[in-house]
Amino acid sequence: MSLPSSVTVHAPATIANVGCGFDVLGICLTAPYDTVRLTRRDQPGLVIRHLDNYDLPTDPYRNVAGAALLALLREVPEPIGFEVEITKGIRPGSGIGSSAASAAGAVVAANALLGNRFDNKKLVDLAMYGEAVASGVRHADNIAPAVCGGFTLVRAVQPVLDVVALPAPPLWVAVVHPQFEVKTREARAVLPTQVPLSLAVRQWANVGGLVAGFLTHDSELISRALEDYIVEPARAALIPGLADAKQRALAAGALGGGISGSGPSIFMLNQNEATAHAAAEAMGRVYQKMGIEFHLHVGPIASEGARVVSVN
């Protein structure tokens, strides 16, 4: 059986942090997604094109998919390269894992072209080089769910990457993306460097509770455990409308939620599709009243991450 010459992957948006789980927890959405098409070249090097209007760099060293693929090619003995066509379905800077999706999609597509020689853990490790281009840090909290799907725990990045991939809890996610910018650097700068031990204990109680709630499908526990005592209070001032949007979504029946990644998107978890739509619309009305443009996304937590949708 010969290997394909061209592969197209859908690489979904993801929610990092998931309330209490700063830098550690992530969940995978079904949409929006980036479409990444890779075609094998019989000579080394990458040629990258963006079929969208976001004016992203196409220099392989500065493109998130490019950086991830360069890392992957360093592990491949054959003198091959790729033509890369990326169509962003996820708006850059939205806080729902836009750069992670392109990087994850690229390595998943390359892996399919190479006969699936890398496992998911290795693909996460490679795609993290893309995140380093986007944010300066090789972090995995969006990459892990974008590759593995479901619900992921990045237990450690150093000295050895330790990604725990867990089954998707049967929940629906409502996301509002208000159209203002939160600079990742600023979102990092407002974080405390030291936290009271008493507060850290409450936070890790919630992380344990959220993991238990997801694995045992205990919606009430999930609802109680989502609360972030440390990071969201520090970042709330960067997201106008946050408190109001959360409150309206809770009133519409959502279980809980918070800032997606470092924002500006806000996510809420819900027990079913109808509640997720109601929560999204409730959040949208908050931004409508504030005169801020927004986009809404509603879908289940996806059991699968970036996946091959066509092969030639």
CB of 232 to its own copies, least distance (A): 13
Q: Does 230 bind its own copies (CB under 8 A)?
A: yes
Which tokens hold the place of 226? 């989502």
Contact between 307 and its own copies by CB under 8 A: the answer reads no
Residue 153: CB minimum distance to its own copies, A: 5
**How far, in Å, CA of 96 to CA of 238, rounded?**
16
Positions in 137-166 near its own copies (CB under 8 A):
153-156, 162, 164, 166
CA distance 284 to 210: 26
* 183 scored as a contact of its own copies (CB under 8 A): no
49, 37 Cβ separation under 8 angstroms: no
Catalytic site includes residue 184: yes
Q: Is 221 in the site for its own copies (CB under 8 A)?
A: yes
Burial class (CB in 10 A: 0-12, 13-18, 19+), 271: middle
Site membership for its own copies, residue 23 (CB under 8 A): yes
83 part of the interface to its own copies, by CB under 8 A: no
Beta-strand pair 81-87/45-50: parallel
Cβ neighbours of 98 (radius 10 Å): 26
Structure tokens at 311: 């092969």
The span of 110-118, 194-202, 238-246, 294-302 binding its own copies (CB under 8 A) equals 194-202
Q: Is 78 in the site for its own copies (CB under 8 A)?
A: no
Bridge partners, 6 (sequence order): 39
Binding mask 255-274 for its own copies (x = CB under 8 A): --------------------
Cβ distance to its own copies smaller for residue 107 or 259? 259
Measured torsion, CA atoms of residues 154, 207, 267, 264, in degrees rounded to the nearest 10: -70
* Residue 197 binds its own copies, judged by CB under 8 A: yes
Q: Does 25 bind its own copies (CB under 8 A)?
A: yes
Say what angle helices 120-135 and 98-113 make with each other, to 10 degrees. 140
Residues near its own copies (CB under 8 A)? 20-25, 153-156, 162, 164, 166, 191-197, 200-212, 215-216, 218, 221, 224-225, 230
